[in-house]
Structure 1
Amino acid sequence: MFDGDTLWVQPLDGGRYRKLRLDGLDAPEICQDGGVASRDALAARVLRQVVTVRERSHDDYGRALVRLQHGGDDVGAFMVQQGQAWSYRWRHSEGPFAQEEAQARAQKKGLFTAASPEPPRDFRRRHGPCPMPPRP
Protein backbone atom coordinates (compact mmCIF):
# COMPACT_ATOMS: atom_id res chain seq x y z
CA MET A 1 0.00 0.00 0.00
CA PHE A 2 1.14 3.50 -0.70
CA ASP A 3 -1.84 5.48 0.56
CA GLY A 4 -5.63 5.16 0.75
CA ASP A 5 -6.23 5.29 -3.00
CA THR A 6 -3.02 3.86 -4.46
CA LEU A 7 -1.80 0.30 -4.12
CA TRP A 8 0.37 -2.35 -5.73
CA VAL A 9 -1.29 -5.52 -7.03
CA GLN A 10 0.36 -8.68 -8.29
CA PRO A 11 -1.42 -10.80 -10.91
CA LEU A 12 -2.52 -14.25 -9.75
CA ASP A 13 -0.12 -15.88 -12.21
CA GLY A 14 2.80 -14.09 -10.58
CA GLY A 15 4.48 -11.56 -12.74
CA ARG A 16 5.31 -7.97 -11.90
CA TYR A 17 3.37 -5.89 -9.43
CA ARG A 18 1.36 -3.01 -10.92
CA LYS A 19 0.76 0.33 -9.26
CA LEU A 20 -2.96 1.11 -9.40
CA ARG A 21 -5.07 4.13 -8.49
CA LEU A 22 -8.61 3.54 -7.24
CA ASP A 23 -11.04 5.33 -9.54
CA GLY A 24 -13.73 7.63 -8.19
CA LEU A 25 -12.26 8.61 -4.84
CA ASP A 26 -9.59 10.81 -3.36
CA ALA A 27 -7.94 9.72 -0.12
CA PRO A 28 -5.83 11.97 2.09
CA GLU A 29 -2.16 12.26 1.25
CA ILE A 30 -0.01 10.00 3.42
CA CYS A 31 1.53 13.03 5.19
CA GLN A 32 -1.88 14.65 5.69
CA ASP A 33 -4.10 14.21 8.75
CA GLY A 34 -5.95 10.94 8.21
CA GLY A 35 -3.52 9.71 5.56
CA VAL A 36 -2.05 6.85 7.55
CA ALA A 37 -5.47 5.76 8.83
CA SER A 38 -6.79 5.74 5.26
CA ARG A 39 -3.86 3.65 4.02
CA ASP A 40 -4.29 1.25 6.94
CA ALA A 41 -8.03 0.87 6.22
CA LEU A 42 -7.27 -0.04 2.61
CA ALA A 43 -4.58 -2.49 3.73
CA ALA A 44 -6.91 -4.11 6.27
CA ARG A 45 -9.45 -4.65 3.50
CA VAL A 46 -7.29 -5.99 0.66
CA LEU A 47 -3.71 -6.79 1.74
CA ARG A 48 -2.82 -10.33 0.64
CA GLN A 49 -6.38 -10.85 -0.64
CA VAL A 50 -7.56 -11.85 -4.09
CA VAL A 51 -9.24 -8.88 -5.76
CA THR A 52 -10.87 -8.25 -9.12
CA VAL A 53 -9.44 -5.32 -11.07
CA ARG A 54 -11.41 -3.47 -13.77
CA GLU A 55 -9.22 -0.93 -15.51
CA ARG A 56 -10.88 2.19 -16.95
CA SER A 57 -7.95 4.31 -18.13
CA HIS A 58 -4.65 5.78 -16.92
CA ASP A 59 -3.95 8.90 -14.88
CA ASP A 60 -1.34 11.59 -15.57
CA TYR A 61 1.27 9.51 -13.69
CA GLY A 62 0.78 6.39 -15.81
CA ARG A 63 -1.10 4.48 -13.12
CA ALA A 64 -4.08 2.42 -14.19
CA LEU A 65 -7.35 3.91 -12.88
CA VAL A 66 -9.32 0.94 -11.61
CA ARG A 67 -12.43 -0.21 -9.83
CA LEU A 68 -11.42 -2.88 -7.35
CA GLN A 69 -13.71 -5.56 -6.01
CA HIS A 70 -13.16 -7.79 -3.00
CA GLY A 71 -15.70 -10.34 -1.89
CA GLY A 72 -18.23 -8.86 -4.32
CA ASP A 73 -17.93 -5.36 -2.81
CA ASP A 74 -16.55 -2.23 -4.47
CA VAL A 75 -13.45 -1.28 -2.46
CA GLY A 76 -13.72 2.40 -3.44
CA ALA A 77 -17.30 2.59 -2.18
CA PHE A 78 -16.16 0.88 1.04
CA MET A 79 -13.35 3.40 1.59
CA VAL A 80 -15.67 6.38 1.15
CA GLN A 81 -18.44 4.77 3.20
CA GLN A 82 -15.97 4.26 6.06
CA GLY A 83 -14.98 7.94 5.92
CA GLN A 84 -11.46 7.15 4.68
CA ALA A 85 -11.75 9.07 1.39
CA TRP A 86 -13.86 11.60 -0.49
CA SER A 87 -15.94 10.87 -3.56
CA TYR A 88 -13.87 12.31 -6.42
CA ARG A 89 -15.44 15.54 -7.61
CA TRP A 90 -15.09 16.61 -11.22
CA ARG A 91 -16.49 19.88 -12.51
CA HIS A 92 -20.09 19.98 -11.26
CA SER A 93 -20.31 16.31 -10.33
CA GLU A 94 -20.28 15.13 -6.71
CA GLY A 95 -18.62 11.94 -7.95
CA PRO A 96 -19.58 8.28 -8.09
CA PHE A 97 -19.57 7.80 -4.33
CA ALA A 98 -21.51 10.92 -3.32
CA GLN A 99 -24.12 8.88 -1.49
CA GLU A 100 -21.49 6.94 0.46
CA GLU A 101 -19.74 10.19 1.38
CA ALA A 102 -23.00 11.78 2.57
CA GLN A 103 -23.62 8.72 4.74
CA ALA A 104 -20.09 8.83 6.23
CA ARG A 105 -20.46 12.56 6.94
CA ALA A 106 -23.86 12.06 8.60
CA GLN A 107 -22.43 9.27 10.76
CA LYS A 108 -19.22 11.25 11.43
CA LYS A 109 -17.00 8.38 10.36
CA GLY A 110 -13.25 8.55 9.78
CA LEU A 111 -12.16 11.85 8.25
CA PHE A 112 -15.58 13.30 8.89
CA THR A 113 -15.18 13.29 12.66
CA ALA A 114 -13.28 16.56 12.08
CA ALA A 115 -15.38 19.71 11.70
CA SER A 116 -13.96 20.52 8.26
CA PRO A 117 -11.47 17.96 6.94
CA GLU A 118 -9.24 19.32 4.18
CA PRO A 119 -9.71 17.58 0.83
CA PRO A 120 -6.45 16.22 -0.62
CA ARG A 121 -6.69 18.51 -3.65
CA ASP A 122 -6.62 21.57 -1.34
CA PHE A 123 -3.85 20.04 0.79
CA ARG A 124 -1.66 19.44 -2.29
CA ARG A 125 -2.32 22.97 -3.53
CA ARG A 126 -1.15 24.44 -0.19
CA HIS A 127 1.72 22.05 0.63
CA GLY A 128 2.73 20.30 -2.57
CA PRO A 129 3.27 16.54 -2.66
CA CYS A 130 4.33 14.57 0.39
CA PRO A 131 8.04 13.87 0.57
CA MET A 132 9.05 10.35 -0.35
CA PRO A 133 9.85 8.19 2.68
CA PRO A 134 13.51 7.32 3.18
CA ARG A 135 14.62 4.02 1.71
CA PRO A 136 15.43 1.29 4.26
Structure 2
Amino acid sequence: MTSAHAWLGVVTHVSDGDTVWVQPLQGGEAFKVRLEGIDAPEICQPWGPQARAALYAVLQGQVVDVQGHARDNYGRLLAKLSRQGHDVGAWMVGQGYAWSYSFQHHAGVYDAQQALAQTHRLGLFADARALQPRWFRKRFGSCHTPGN
Protein backbone atom coordinates (compact mmCIF):
# COMPACT_ATOMS: atom_id res chain seq x y z
CA MET A 1 0.00 0.00 0.00
CA THR A 2 1.51 3.33 -1.01
CA SER A 3 0.97 6.59 0.78
CA ALA A 4 -0.84 8.17 -2.19
CA HIS A 5 -3.94 5.97 -1.97
CA ALA A 6 -7.23 6.29 -0.16
CA TRP A 7 -8.09 3.35 2.06
CA LEU A 8 -10.25 2.35 5.02
CA GLY A 9 -8.84 1.36 8.36
CA VAL A 10 -9.51 1.10 12.07
CA VAL A 11 -7.84 3.46 14.54
CA THR A 12 -5.94 1.24 16.97
CA HIS A 13 -4.07 3.87 19.00
CA VAL A 14 -4.15 7.64 19.54
CA SER A 15 -0.70 9.00 20.41
CA ASP A 16 -1.65 12.66 20.77
CA GLY A 17 -3.97 15.27 19.25
CA ASP A 18 -2.70 14.84 15.71
CA THR A 19 -1.14 11.37 15.48
CA VAL A 20 -2.94 8.02 15.36
CA TRP A 21 -2.23 4.44 14.31
CA VAL A 22 -4.55 3.00 11.66
CA GLN A 23 -4.77 -0.66 10.67
CA PRO A 24 -6.05 -1.26 7.12
CA LEU A 25 -9.37 -3.14 7.03
CA GLN A 26 -7.82 -5.70 4.68
CA GLY A 27 -5.24 -6.50 7.35
CA GLY A 28 -1.54 -5.98 7.71
CA GLU A 29 0.45 -3.71 9.96
CA ALA A 30 -0.96 -0.48 11.35
CA PHE A 31 0.34 2.79 9.90
CA LYS A 32 1.40 5.75 12.02
CA VAL A 33 -0.66 8.63 10.61
CA ARG A 34 -0.20 12.35 11.18
CA LEU A 35 -3.37 14.36 10.51
CA GLU A 36 -2.56 16.69 7.68
CA GLY A 37 -3.38 20.38 8.07
CA ILE A 38 -3.51 20.61 11.85
CA ASP A 39 -1.03 21.15 14.67
CA ALA A 40 -2.25 19.97 18.05
CA PRO A 41 -0.50 20.84 21.30
CA GLU A 42 2.34 18.57 22.37
CA ILE A 43 1.14 15.98 24.88
CA CYS A 44 3.22 17.58 27.67
CA GLN A 45 2.05 21.14 27.06
CA PRO A 46 -1.21 22.75 28.21
CA TRP A 47 -4.16 21.49 26.10
CA GLY A 48 -2.13 18.48 24.92
CA PRO A 49 -3.96 15.92 27.09
CA GLN A 50 -7.34 17.47 26.18
CA ALA A 51 -6.53 17.31 22.46
CA ARG A 52 -5.50 13.66 22.75
CA ALA A 53 -8.63 12.82 24.77
CA ALA A 54 -10.87 14.51 22.19
CA LEU A 55 -9.27 12.66 19.28
CA TYR A 56 -9.40 9.39 21.24
CA ALA A 57 -13.11 9.91 21.97
CA VAL A 58 -14.03 10.32 18.29
CA LEU A 59 -11.58 7.89 16.66
CA GLN A 60 -10.43 5.04 18.92
CA GLY A 61 -11.73 1.78 17.46
CA GLN A 62 -13.53 3.61 14.65
CA VAL A 63 -13.34 3.02 10.91
CA VAL A 64 -11.79 5.98 9.10
CA ASP A 65 -11.18 6.92 5.49
CA VAL A 66 -7.47 7.64 5.09
CA GLN A 67 -6.37 9.87 2.22
CA GLY A 68 -2.60 9.70 2.43
CA HIS A 69 -0.38 12.05 0.50
CA ALA A 70 3.23 11.83 1.67
CA ARG A 71 5.43 11.02 4.64
CA ASP A 72 6.80 13.57 7.08
CA ASN A 73 10.35 13.82 8.42
CA TYR A 74 9.47 11.27 11.13
CA GLY A 75 8.19 8.64 8.67
CA ARG A 76 4.52 9.18 9.51
CA LEU A 77 1.96 9.07 6.74
CA LEU A 78 0.49 12.58 6.27
CA ALA A 79 -3.20 12.09 5.65
CA LYS A 80 -6.64 13.57 5.80
CA LEU A 81 -8.88 11.38 7.96
CA SER A 82 -12.63 11.26 7.66
CA ARG A 83 -15.05 9.43 9.92
CA GLN A 84 -18.59 8.89 8.65
CA GLY A 85 -17.95 11.53 5.98
CA HIS A 86 -16.74 14.17 8.46
CA ASP A 87 -13.24 15.68 8.23
CA VAL A 88 -11.52 14.94 11.54
CA GLY A 89 -8.93 17.74 11.14
CA ALA A 90 -11.66 20.32 10.57
CA TRP A 91 -13.44 19.08 13.69
CA MET A 92 -10.29 19.23 15.84
CA VAL A 93 -9.58 22.83 14.83
CA GLY A 94 -13.25 23.86 14.93
CA GLN A 95 -13.62 22.57 18.49
CA GLY A 96 -10.48 24.35 19.67
CA TYR A 97 -8.22 21.31 20.10
CA ALA A 98 -5.67 22.22 17.40
CA TRP A 99 -4.40 25.03 15.23
CA SER A 100 -4.78 25.14 11.47
CA TYR A 101 -1.29 24.37 10.18
CA SER A 102 0.17 27.15 8.06
CA PHE A 103 3.63 27.15 6.56
CA GLN A 104 5.79 30.06 5.40
CA HIS A 105 2.92 32.54 5.12
CA HIS A 106 0.67 30.11 3.25
CA ALA A 107 -2.83 29.91 4.67
CA GLY A 108 -3.76 26.72 6.46
CA VAL A 109 -6.52 24.54 5.07
CA TYR A 110 -8.53 24.93 8.29
CA ASP A 111 -8.06 28.69 8.80
CA ALA A 112 -11.83 29.32 8.56
CA GLN A 113 -12.55 26.78 11.30
CA GLN A 114 -9.82 28.32 13.45
CA ALA A 115 -11.20 31.84 13.00
CA LEU A 116 -14.65 30.66 14.07
CA ALA A 117 -13.26 28.77 17.09
CA GLN A 118 -11.25 31.86 18.08
CA THR A 119 -14.34 34.08 17.75
CA HIS A 120 -16.30 31.73 20.01
CA ARG A 121 -13.32 31.22 22.34
CA LEU A 122 -13.53 27.44 22.12
CA GLY A 123 -11.00 25.15 23.77
CA LEU A 124 -7.42 26.37 23.62
CA PHE A 125 -8.56 29.56 21.87
CA ALA A 126 -10.09 30.65 25.19
CA ASP A 127 -6.66 30.45 26.82
CA ALA A 128 -4.54 33.56 26.23
CA ARG A 129 -1.46 31.56 27.27
CA ALA A 130 -1.97 28.78 24.71
CA LEU A 131 1.21 28.40 22.70
CA GLN A 132 1.33 26.99 19.20
CA PRO A 133 3.23 23.69 19.22
CA ARG A 134 5.94 24.93 16.83
CA TRP A 135 6.81 27.72 19.30
CA PHE A 136 6.58 25.33 22.23
CA ARG A 137 9.03 22.94 20.53
CA LYS A 138 11.44 25.79 19.74
CA ARG A 139 11.41 26.87 23.35
CA PHE A 140 11.19 23.55 25.21
CA GLY A 141 11.88 20.82 22.63
CA SER A 142 9.66 17.87 21.83
CA CYS A 143 8.13 15.85 24.64
CA HIS A 144 7.31 12.77 22.56
CA THR A 145 8.79 9.47 23.52
CA PRO A 146 10.14 7.15 20.82
CA GLY A 147 7.47 4.87 19.37
CA ASN A 148 4.49 7.10 20.14
TM superposition score normalised by structure 2:
0.87
CA distance in 2, matches of 1:68, 1:80: 13
Number of residues of Structure 1 aligned to a counterpart in Structure 2: 133
Q: 1:98 aligns with which of 108, 111, 114?
A: 111
Secondary structure at 2:97 match in 1: coil
Higher strand share: 2
Correspondence 1:49 to 2:62 = yes
After the TM superposition, which parts of structure 1 deviate over 6 Å for at least 4 consecutive aligned residues? none
1:14 Cα deviation (Å)?
2.3
RMSD: 1.2
Partner of 1:64: 77
1:115 Cα deviation (Å)?
1.5
CA distance in 2, matches of 1:123, 1:93: 20
CA distance in 2, matches of 1:110, 1:2: 19
Partner of 2:139: 126
TM superposition score normalised by structure 1:
0.94
- Superposed, 1:1-136 pairs within 5 Å as 1-132=14-145
> Can you give the 5+ residue segments of structure 1 that lack an aligned partner in the other structure?
none
Percent of paired sites with the same residue: 50
The answer (yes or no) to whether the contact 2:41–2:48 under 8 Å persists in 1 is yes
